[in-house]
């Protein structure tokens, strides 16, 4: 494939097939780490910028300021580099060092908020307030506000959903993480639009409050919504059939298992989605086609999820997860 710019490589990511032991379901892992910025968020970063250019919210030479756990910011930094915008990412300590280093490498600038938060707490409200205030104070600035921006959600409707149906013909069950809801709901809308009857299943960390429940801190980064943070406007609850909760140890030990047994390095939210999806698919009878959307790669988490000392010091090592997964696949 010959392309003219890096954004032409966004999308058309591969599907890795895995087999279940206890039924005839076919399972496909949609590997979004193969986007140029290493996550599915490249898709929405490009769309949010292109739509803002079209309707004049973003003008040549402008500055883009966004609150992000890191992946959206990496996507925005890449698109900004190509299109010559200044880019400022407002992050908190849930953004891993690797993500921050990548944003900087693409020429993005970093503002860190929420210094007084604990390691497993997310400062979403502070991030969003800061990005909004900065964009209001600065001339020719644009705050995409991914949580409430429908161009985030629509970025997946005619790309990811289409890719799945072009490749697989049918999808009976779709599993994805949920943070802003852009990827899960956007893909779900695209599947429905194309006549698919797939069940839509979303996974958030234990402690995230998107479906009610008790809010408490969690380490899975980029996914879920912490206590007190407003519910993103782009979540379409009507199209979601079922929601699940992944514990940090389930998520991270799944990542470590897949790296060692399948040579597949995935990120923490992807580990949580994978564990809960496989558990659910294992409980099914008969046959069907399931797609599990894996948001990003493990390269961005080498200093935590794949670091034995960090895992041990946070009491997250759990070898039972390996045995549980081995009973399923
Ligand atoms: C690692 C990771 N997982 C999951 C999500 C959630 O995706 P969405 O915002 O599309 O719901 C994000 C979003 O930033 C993310 O970075």
Protein residue closest via CA to atom 12 of ligand 1: 222
Atom of ligand 1 nearest to the CA of 270: 3
Could you please state the CATH topology (level 3) that the domain comprising 41-146 is classified under.
Rossmann fold (3.40.50)
Task: Pick 6-34+156-328's CATH classification: 3.40.50.1860, 3.40.50.1100, 3.10.20.600, 1.10.620.20.
Answer: 3.40.50.1100
Protein residue closest via CA to atom 1 of ligand 1: 222
Ligand 1 interacting residues, C-beta cut-off 6 A: 39, 41, 69, 71-72, 177-184, 221-223, 267, 269, 295-296
* pTM (predicted TM-score): 0.97
How far does residue 305's CA lie from ligand 1's centre (Å)?
Answer: 17
Q: Which of 75, 240, 270, 295 to mutate to test the pocket of ligand 1 (most atoms within 8 A of CB)?
A: 295
CATH 3.40.50.1100 in the chain: give the residue spans: 6-34+156-328, 41-146
How far does residue 205's CA lie from ligand 1's centre (Å)?
Answer: 12
Atom of ligand 1 nearest to the CA of 71: 16
Atom of ligand 1 nearest to the CA of 182: 10
Our answer to whether residue 41 is catalytic in this structure is: yes
User: Other CB atoms closer than 10 Å to residue 80's CB: what's the count?
Assistant: 22
What's the rounded Cα separation, in Å, for the pair 274 and 287?
19
How far does residue 285's CA lie from ligand 1's centre (Å)?
Answer: 30
Per-residue pLDDT tens digits of the chain, which is 329 residues long: 899 999 999 999 999 999 999 999 999 999 999 999 999 999 999 999 999 999 999 999 999 999 999 999 999 999 999 999 999 999 998 788 999 999 999 999 999 998 777 777 778 889 999 999 999 999 999 999 999 999 999 999 999 999 999 999 899 999 999 999 999 999 999 999 999 999 999 999 999 999 998 899 999 999 999 988 899 999 999 999 999 999 999 999 999 999 999 999 999 999 999 999 999 999 999 999 999 999 999 999 999 999 999 999 999 999 999 999 999 99
Catalytic residue among 41, 83, 247, 276: 41
How far does residue 136's CA lie from ligand 1's centre (Å)?
Answer: 26
How far does residue 222's CA lie from ligand 1's centre (Å)?
Answer: 5
Atom of ligand 1 nearest to the CA of 177: 4
């Amino acid at each position: 494939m010959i392309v003219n710019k890096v954004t032409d490589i966004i999308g058309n990511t591969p599907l890795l097939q895995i087999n279940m032991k206890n039924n005839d379901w076919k399972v496909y892992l949609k590997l979004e780490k193969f986007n140029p910025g290493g996550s599915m968020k490249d898709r929405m970063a490009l769309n949010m910028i292109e739509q803002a250019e079209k309707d004049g919210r973003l003008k040549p030479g402008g500055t883009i300021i966004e609150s992000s756990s890191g992946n959206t910011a990496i996507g925005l930094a890449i698109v900004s580099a190509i299109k010559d915008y200044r880019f400022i990412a407002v992050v908190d300590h849930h953004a891993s060092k690797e993500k921050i280093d990548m944003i900087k490498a693409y020429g993005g600038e970093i503002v860190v908020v929420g210094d007084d938060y604990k390691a497993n707490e997310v400062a979403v409200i502070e991030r969003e307030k800061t990005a909004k205030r900065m964009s209001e104070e600065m001339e020719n600035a644009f705050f995409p506000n991914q949580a409430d921006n429908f161009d985030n959600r629509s970025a997946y409707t005619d790309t990811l959903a289409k890719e799945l149906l072009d490749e697989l013909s049918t999808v009976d069950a779709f599993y994805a993480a949920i943070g802003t809801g852009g990827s899960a709901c956007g893909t779900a809308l695209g599947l429905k639009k194309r006549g698919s009857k797939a069940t839509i299943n979303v996974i958030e960390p234990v402690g995230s409050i998107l479906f009610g429940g008790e809010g408490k801190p969690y380490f899975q980064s980029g996914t879920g919504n912490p206590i007190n943070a407003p519910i993103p406007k782009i979540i379409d609850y009507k199209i979601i059939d079922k929601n699940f909760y992944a514990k940090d140890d389930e998520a991270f030990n799944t990542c470590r298992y897949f790296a060692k047994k399948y040579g597949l390095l995935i990120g923490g939210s992807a580990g949580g989605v994978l564990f809960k999806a496989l558990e659910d698919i294992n409980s099914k009878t008969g046959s069907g086609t399931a797609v599990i959307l894996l948001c990003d790669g493990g390269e961005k988490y080498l200093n935590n999820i794949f670091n034995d000392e960090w895992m041990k010091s946070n009491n997250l090592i759990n070898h039972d997860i390996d045995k549980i997964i081995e009973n399923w696949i």
